[in-house]
Chains A and B, each alone.
Chain A
Amino acid sequence: MKKWTDFALDLIKRQGAIYGDVRIVERKDQDILIKNGIVESNAYSESLGIGVRVIVDGAWGFASTYNLTKNNIKKIVKNAIDIAKSSAKYIEKPIKLAPSEGIEDEYISPYKMDPFSLPDEEKIGHLLDANKSIRIDPKIIMAFSSANFRREVKIFTNTEGSFIKQTFIQSGGGISCVAFKDGEIARRSYPASFGGDFRNSGWEFILEMNFKENGPKIAGEAIELLTAPQLPHKKTTLVIGDSQLALQIHESVGHPTELDRVLGFERSYAGTSFVTLDKLYELQYGSNMVNIVADATDQRALGGFAYDDEGIPAQSTYLIKDGLFVGYQTSRETAPIIGQVSNGCMRADGFRNIPLIRMTSINLLPGDHSWKKIISEIDEGFYFDVNKSWSIDDKRLNFQFGCEIAYEIKNGKLGKIYKNPTYTGITPEFWNSCDAIGSKEYYRIWGIPNCGKGEPPQTARVSHGASFARFKNVEIGVGEW
């Protein structure tokens, strides 16, 4: 591959770019889905291509192709240069990048058992067993078990002397079921919905999740939900489980603290952010127990890596410290606008796309409460977990989430379950109402493999560390059921 990156870089330099980078990305995916004991899908995909980004006359240009031939790379470099020149007429000031050192390095994400070396029989057999464990009652009309594996090799090189090769092995999966009776439908998933949990890891992560033991549990809960009462509409104390809290962090902290959104670059599509530049070191984002970091250094986290797609080393930086808003996720272009250097959050979806600021692992650091203590301190409230739906406004203020299951909390104990739980709130009010966070024994990093952003749309793999947490005076049971 180096011959292609060298060739492209040489062309970039000779055509007058003041900066250029070249990425070659090769990606392999395998998706296995078992439904009701049948292999619904065992799909492979592979892609390979090159993306070229340049600054000419102070403007960006980007072009990509799947076709790795000398002539085509020449064409793509010319496209990127021409695009930059065309854009340069419509900029106000030239792009200025935060400094970066040329780095040569090679990195492989941690794994024990390469899922692509395992026979498919073993992977499918494991998922068939898991699937069987869910089908314990005729009321379970659908049982799913699934796994996804990815191997991605990314080569990054730029005109500043970097040559970085990173290889990622990622594994994820989950189980879920749908129960039906008398027109009622209920769904439960383990360990999370929408495909389960994902990590930079090998097959061992699938084994760690222990689907087979958890199959009967989710089936039982789905059946119980068929006759559960509808969650009432009220304001109450809410304990949110770690799986759902991961998505709460994602939507209400991760996205609003992306500096490109704050600067308006995403206004036409994903939206902007309420965390405008004047809020830095001023806004009390959450209560003083809320500490949230952007941490790309945890190598097992799905959002972990060694270098971002601008060749910046992985870092861990505070976004919220003791409740105070103290940092953004940045890039080489955006960081200088606030007088900083990049904290390494630029990533692109494959070779096709230009890098954008993407979440790394945005983690709510653990507090000091045990599960028993957090529940025992509540006279009346609810516990929700596992996401079912999500929605938030284009400044990331007004959110509403639905979960799979709610448990009533009464006199310090978990009580009966309720169906269709939803809760809603305004981001800073919600995080300021946080009065307890689970301790590190309950902390887990959740992988989210499908974070969407940008035009053309890009999907990023990110993650969120969380234990359960408690919030006061939250509106639950939204809508007319």
Chain B
Amino acid sequence: MVREYLSKIAEFIIKSSDADYTRVLIRKTDNRLVRFANSIIHQNVFQEDISIAVEMVYGKKHGFMELNKVDNETILQNLKKLKKNILIQPDDKDFVEYPKGLSYDYKERWDDETAGVTHKAVADIVGKAIRIIKTVRAEAFGALNAKSNFELTVNNYGNIAYSKNTFCNLTSIPTRDEKTTYNNFSSYKIDDLDIEKFFELPLKRLEYYKNDKKIESGKYKVILEPHAVGDMIGYLSYMTFSGKPYAEKQSYITDKLGEKITGENITLYDDYNDKMTIGIPYDGELNERKKITLIENGIAKNIALDTKWAKKLGKESNGHALFGWDMPICTNIIMKTGDKSLSDMITEAENGLLITRFNYTNNVNQKKTMYTGMTRNGVYRIENGKIVGTANNMRFTINIMETLKNVLAIGKELHYSSSGWFGGTLIPALMIDNFNFTGATKFS
């Protein structure tokens, strides 16, 4: 029913446009989100929204608009305005004709239970989470999100791509005496959430704060859990492995394809088709989204490309266009696993720090992959191969590529985290030597 609703709007736009090329992307979302803090539900929302994005091309002139108004009169007015805006522009000398694309129908990551979950059901899940956390005399903080996404892309070559997915995410930060731990769950199926199991580790880790010590900045052997590694690798997806910064000489790997850029144990690729992701088989130009290897055994191999940036580089698109964005990007990055469990790594590290995740990270120098941020929700001290307690939060300032030369071990389990929009990362834990902490806070 939603497909028909979106199709009707898209067909009207295609029929009403006299542009040389017209492409429409319509997204509809039903979003439920419950936030809890201090062991109560303090915010609980339902949002129903739609976005109609239209790109039109006349000759070598092109333009873009976005609406959430679905009536034909408003759509027509805006198409007229868009045409006028496009025609007054000078030709875009760099314009590259868009491909015809292909048609798709993709529903692999859809779950009726998640789509139909009620307000009461999500509130009750949160209620259960609060009860579990309170059993260890801790306070509950977090958020539970359940949403349905519908996406229809149509172009005037007659190609139609339709995807729908569901998404569920639980974040929780159990807190006792202002000391926090963390866990996160993402899946397209709400029934995959085993809430008792979800809280086992974060509640156990609260106990480590009984031996909390202040440490100073400096270089440490660290084990980064997947949440932290995912943050770091996420930066590379747009700073480094996109065809745009590559062509504009702003990427670390500009002119370095084929060269060794990390340790030989690092292999990174982009693949929508892994069963653990929420990827889709096509990109914003309706091209097939191809699996690409970004780093293979430490060697820089490939970058994400769309039609425009591929042509600039004398290559073919590998299906990584984003609709309305002048930047191809990897949306399903996966790191090849190693053979170590987290406990193996803790034992082998002997002495070091286990880092749960990062906070408010930012790139300091894109070309050099310089990146800074803070640790958050758990810095655990490892001594003689065991976690013995916690430490204060630390600031790191690192060169990501140099850091990936110092990876001593790679976890054998992948953790999935998703933005909820047909994308996400699958990342293992990493043990890294000489990780550079440049500052510290007083709190843990």
Contacts and interface: CB of A to CB of B under 8 A. Distances in A.
A394 B360 contact: yes
A49 B50 CA distance: 10
A263 interface: yes
Contacts of B43: 60, 62, 265, 354
B49 A39 contact: no
B374 A393 contact: yes
B351 interface: no
A123 to B, nearest CB: 10
A395 B441 contact: yes
Contacts of B250: 178, 185
Contacts of B90: 38-39
B173 A83 contact: no
Contact of B94 (A38, A48, A424): A38
Contacts of A274: 443
B406 interface: no
Interface residues of B, number: 91
A180 interface: yes
Given A46-B69, A397-B441, A480 B127 contact: no
B318 to A, nearest CB: 23
Contacts of B173: 267-268
Interface string A42-76: 11111111000000000111111111000000001
Contacts of A86: 44, 118-120, 122-124
Contacts of A283: none
Contacts of B241: none
A412 interface: no
A426 B37 CA distance: 26
A456 B33 contact: yes
Given A44-B81, A86-B119, A402-B364, A49 B68 contact: yes
Contacts of B362: 389-391, 402
Given A60-B44, A394-B376, A400 B127 contact: no
Contacts, number: 252
A389 B122 CA distance: 38
Given A48-B68, A354-B45, A267 B439 contact: no
A455 to B, nearest CB: 5
B355 to A, nearest CB: 14
Contact of B395 (A47, A354, A394, A398): A398
A209 interface: no
B78 interface: yes
Contact of A264 (B38, B49, B440): B38
Contacts of A402: 362, 364-365
A265 B175 CA distance: 13
Given A39-B90, A41-B326, A87-B44, A46 B85 contact: no
Contacts of B126: 90
B417 interface: no
Interface string A236-280: 000000000000000000000000000111111101001000000
28 contacts: A42-B63, A42-B86, A43-B64, A44-B64, A44-B65, A45-B66, A46-B65, A46-B66, A48-B69, A60-B43, A64-B45, A66-B48, A67-B48, A76-B48, A86-B124, A90-B40, A91-B42, A124-B88, A264-B141, A265-B42, A352-B49, A393-B376, A400-B397, A400-B438, A420-B364, A420-B365, A424-B395, A478-B439
